[in-house]
């Protein structure tokens, strides 16, 4: 995964937050890690579909879903 460093950074930040007693921040970073993993997977699947000449579509795309909420 070419963007694995994103998860590494979030993991380091989560460890720091735990060490400093910032439980809510650590939990939020855990959530952020899950979102990043889902979005990276969504982008990889879309890229693979496009390379195979398949219709990419938007149904089930995490990136598409977050774009409408202003988070992407």
pLDDT digits (tens, 9 = 90+) for 27-47: 999 999 999 999 988 888 888
Instruction: Tokens for 33, please give them.
Output: 């890690």
pLDDT tier at 57, thresholds 50, 70, 90:
low
Q: Locate tokens 């937050």: which residue? A: 17
φ, ψ for residue 29, nearest 5 deg: -70, -35
Write down the pTM of the prediction: 0.67
């Amino acid at each position: 995964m070419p963007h694995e460093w994103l998860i590494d950074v979030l993991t380091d930040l989560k460890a720091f937050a735990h060490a400093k007693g910032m439980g809510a921040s650590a939990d939020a970073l855990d959530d952020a890690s899950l979102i990043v993993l889902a979005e990276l997977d969504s982008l990889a699947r879309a890229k693979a579909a496009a390379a195979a000449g398949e219709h990419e579509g938007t149904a089930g795309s995490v990136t598409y879903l977050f774009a409408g909420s202003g988070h992407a």
